[in-house]
Structure formats: C-alpha cells, structure tokens
Amino acid sequence: MRAKLELPSMEIPDLQDIPEQVQGMPRRDFLRLCGIVAAATGVALNPFAARLARALETNPAKPKVVWLEGLDCAGCTVSFGGLLDPPTVGILLDRISLRYHETLMFGTGKVAEKARMDAIAEGGHVLVVEGSVPTADDRFCTVGGVPFKKMLLESAEKAAAIVAVGACASFGGITRATPARGRGVAEILGRPVVNLSTCPVHPEHLVGTLLHILGQGTLPELDAHGRPKAFFGVTVHDHCPRRPAFDKNLFLMDWNDPAQRDYCLMSKGCKGPWAWSDCAVRYWNHGASMCTACGAGCQACSEPGFYEDHSPLFFPHDPVSHAGGRGGHHD
Ligand code: SF4
C-alpha cells in the first residue's frame, strides 16, 4: 500500500450531481480533466468527478508547489502552458499555491529566491523539477549564484512529493551526453520521484499526476523507472496508427513515394516498440497528432536510454541489440 503524503488534505464530500460549470469550466471540459485524473488514480470516473467538483468549490486548502529549472530548455513549461485552452491548467493553478517558478513568476532576483526559501522552510510542498542536474561541475548550472544541485537538495529536504518533468529531469535526457554530464533527479536524491519522462512532459500527465497527489495524498502507482503506470503502461507501438502496416510487413523505404505514406517507420529508425508511453492513445496538442502519426519515427524519449542509446535517430537499427540497451525495459 502506498504511503500517505503529508499534504493539506482536500476534504472530498459526496455529491450526487456535477454542476454545468465547475469554477467557470464547462461540465464537458471538467469531465475530461477528471478522466485524466481518474486514469492516474485508478478510480472510477463518476464518483471521483462528483467528489472533486464538490471539493474544488468548497475546500480552501491550497497545497504549495515549488517548480525548479536546472539544465533545461523550458520546453516542459511551454508544454504545460499548452493546456491553457480549455483552461484545465487554470483549475489546477486555482487549487495550488505556485510559490516559485523561474519562468512564470513575476518576482525576480532576491525577491524570487526569498519566495523559494520561505516555501521550502515551511515544508510539505510538492517539488516539480524540470531539467537535469550537472554532475561534472556545479558551475554548469547556477541560479542567483547558487549551484542547481544545492537548490535541489535543499528544496527536496522537506518536500512531501517530488515530480520530475521531462526526459532531462527524469533520467538526464540529452544532457547526459554533454560535458555537464546531466543526471536525473532520482539519481541525485536517492528517494522516490515520480518521473514524467517524455520530452517534453505531456501536459495531461502532469495535470493528472498533480491532481492525483493533491486529491488522494499518495503517489500514483509507478513502474520500475518511477513512471505512473497509468500513463506509461503501454508502448507507442501497441496503439500506433501505422501498426496495421507493420502487421502486414509494409515498411516505408522511400519518403517521396505517396503510396508508402502510411507505412511503418521501423525501417527509418522508429523506436516505438521500445517506448513506454501512451502517446498513441492520448496524442498531443489537444489530440492534434503525435510523432508516428505525422511521419516521424518515435525517438523513445520516455526511456532511460534517451538520447544516447537511441541515436542516430533515423537510421534503421538492430532490434536485438537495441532491446539489450538501457532503454526499453519495463517491469
Ligand atoms: Fe511500431 Fe513505429 Fe511502426 Fe508505429 S511506426 S507500427 S510505433 S515500429
């Protein structure tokens, strides 16, 4: 049984009906949000949606969230912001107290750093980390003159839960192979971390995980790499729109042949069979598309071996040796 975290509790009374609007959000959008959370939580949608609607309308508790950025490109922040319409992020931001976020906060300099120090001194916060931690030399990443590794260690000390967003924060990502030798948060802290490891983080993975932690007071069920099983329990290959072509041995050999437009991309280096993520179920950008649907082979960005073990990305690879690398394993 997963341990209860020390967070402000969200009292969740029973409610028979879900109103037409929940904090300004249309009922249909609210139910979609609840569907994301229910997937992460593993609970039935209907009672959870009713309870959450009631709790959001009545409960004054606002858990603290501190969001750090290490060796990153801020792509996960941009991805998270991509959910602003419809305002699913809005409902989340209304329910939390976002004390520190370098990119989003108005405060700068000493004012900003004081906000972080005040939040972590109180403890009980959810720590979200974007970007990796340099291990070759602290000077590869400092904020306000403070090495990022020191910021992470002191911010994690009294945190109730830690969520690593994106490939870099989860496993080091692209920065693993740089001179900075970036490493993931769990590797540095040596304590349980929720890894939302796609590059960038899928905004629904983050919203679902945060609302699960805040609403349930526990971490979601995780796989061997610290990823929520609800989001990372299938491979891209399992539900890929090109899977019918794969099953018929139709592999794309010529990018310029319109007849091969829907063929499987394994011949062009697709790593979908080794990539554990629900991209092909959930899609990206409000369901607009995902990598293999729009003609790019999956890069397995969700896996611990990304990017080093999977490059060069568009070269056909040996499935046997690839499966033996650091990426592609699942419990
Ligand atoms: Fe699998 Fe990739 Fe082919 Fe899709 S394109 S069926 S993920 S190998």
Residues contacting residue 280 through CB under 8 Å, at least 6 positions apart? 234, 236, 237, 238, 239, 240, 241, 272, 290, 292, 293
Active site residues: 73, 76, 168, 199, 237, 240, 264, 270, 279, 291, 298, 301
* pLDDT at 90 (0 to 100): 66
**In ligand 1, which atom is closest to the CA atom of 266?**
8
Q: What is the mean pLDDT of residues 168-189?
A: 96
Per this entry, what is the length of the chain?
331
Q: What is the pTM of this model?
A: 0.84
pLDDT tens per residue, range 54-73? 666 665 567 789 999 999 99
Which DSSP category does 310 fall into?
G
Ligand 1 atom with minimal separation from the 280 CA: 7
Of 61, 63, 143, 66, the residue nearest 99 (C-alpha):
66
> Are residues 307 and 170 in contact, defined by beta-carbon separation less than 8 angstroms?
no
In the reported structure, the alpha carbon of residue 247 is separated from the centroid of ligand 1 by a whole-number distance in angstroms of 10
What's residue 45's pLDDT? 64
Residue 331: what pLDDT? 40
From 249, 263, 264, 277, the mutation candidate for ligand 1 (largest count of ligand atoms within 8 A of CB) is 264
Which tens digits make up the pLDDT trace of 13-67?
344 567 777 766 777 777 777 776 666 555 566 666 666 666 666 655 677 899 9
> What spacing in Å lies between the alpha carbon of 290 and ligand 1's midpoint?
12
